[in-house]
Amino acid sequence: MNDEELEIKILNIDINDFKEKLLSLEGIKFKKEVKQEIYTYDCYDPIIMYELMLKDYEVLLSTFKI
């Protein structure tokens, strides 16, 4: 895996049509499908943002017994 990732957020699309368009581009291959949980915050206070991230981490730990 590369050290850098490009993340694009696209909402309200036909997923099958989107996959076909991606695969039609040169140099793009399908690797695998991964379902992810995405947490999005609109917050301009770094203290509040840090506290929210800690709560998510605690939920992750309790869910997967890490």
> pTM value?
0.36
**Residue 64 Cα distances to 28, 39, 56, 61, angstroms:** 33, 17, 12, 6
pLDDT digit string (tens) for the chain, length 66 residues = 456 666 667 677 788 888 888 889 888 888 888 887 777 767 677 777 788 788 877 877 777 765
| Cα–Cα separations (whole angstroms), residue 9 to 26, 38, 48, 60, 65 | 22, 10, 23, 23, 30
The full DSSP string for 11-45 is -S--HHHHHHHHHHSTT------------------
